[in-house]
Copies of this chain bind each other. A is one copy, B any other.
């Protein structure tokens, strides 16, 4: 897309937002229902477009341009399509977050203030090469009343194109304005998007550290996401061996490339099963790196940094220093230490006696996940629909002016109603 076209797209998306921001739940759910129907109707066409992507990707894999993990994720089969449709059906059932009244307050007689939930605006999403992302993300955007410019992984281009057609067709039938959901294709498009802070209100990069870092370095638009997931488990002095073993193995091996997978294991110096634990990890094909030079490496593989610490204080200090504020867990039977850890670890998810792999929008019961954020503003941790919303204040008066309050003649009541 030429640069001026991206600006035009962003302007049109912004205009579309001024309409969708107030769409009622049934209109939005109607659009989602129509997407479901069209996904079912166009199943064969979707699979054949996806096959094109897989064919092209075979070449990229052979040339070493993509790795096996990316290649394996490209395939959209019957079961993946069904879970996409199931996800949409679940999303339709979720409560509409928009126009919810957070509170109302009588400022004074005849002067009522309401705080209500609104969508944010135009969201730019840059997502990884997975064939289910486009539908998942655009449906969250639709449900929340936002509009979007989406850029998918180039390896999924044909799958994304057919999905784009389906979504836009459903939106038009449901009465949405043109350009509510826009699909762009090239890295240059992303570069241009990042400049359009006048029209784009939030950027969500999903993907590798380098992508997220690049985006954070190159835009004034707020960015929601996480550059890395350096997650820790601290094993306190007295812990049952079997529990520790199970949790550490789960956190490291159940899905090693996930951002909430364990990267560094901190063990209390007096823990009596240190050697036995190391043996158990080795038996589970986990490579242990003791006292590495760099404690901020995300291995995304069955590799683990390992450090013996003096106790809970050193563990907390280590995590706050080398962690990425993502997810950290303490294994302990000492209630005081657990509370200390929960209070003083400055991460988006802090856990006790369980696997770090639980930090996830679906597991937390948000119904849908936009991504996981290590930001300290707006949205932190696993982000559901709520992260795509903000609020505005509505003040209903009866011809009130400020002057008598400024002079002290009148006083505010400030009473919640």
Contact = CB atoms under 8 A, between A and B. Distances in A.
Contacts of A107: 358, 363-365
Contacts of A201: 376-377
17 contacts: A17-B346, A18-B344, A21-B344, A113-B365, A216-B220, A222-B377, A243-B399, A348-B392, A350-B393, A353-B396, A354-B395, A358-B395, A359-B393, A363-B412, A365-B414, A377-B378, A377-B390
Nearest to A106: B365
User: Mostly helix, strand, loop or mixed at chain A's interface?
Assistant: mixed
A87 to B, nearest CB: 15
A302 interface: no
Contacts of A251: 401-402
A405 interface: yes
A375 B118 CA distance: 13
A394 B342 CA distance: 7
A131 interface: no
A48 interface: no
A409 interface: no
A354 B401 contact: yes
A377 B120 contact: yes
Interface of A: 17-18, 21-22, 105, 107, 111, 113, 118, 120-121, 201-202, 216-217, 220, 222, 224, 240, 243, 246-247, 250-251, 254-255, 320, 329, 338, 342-344, 346-355, 357-359, 363-365, 375-378, 380-382, 390-403, 405-406, 412, 414
Contact of A347 (B243, B392, B403, B405): B392
A377 B202 contact: yes
A357 B365 CA distance: 41
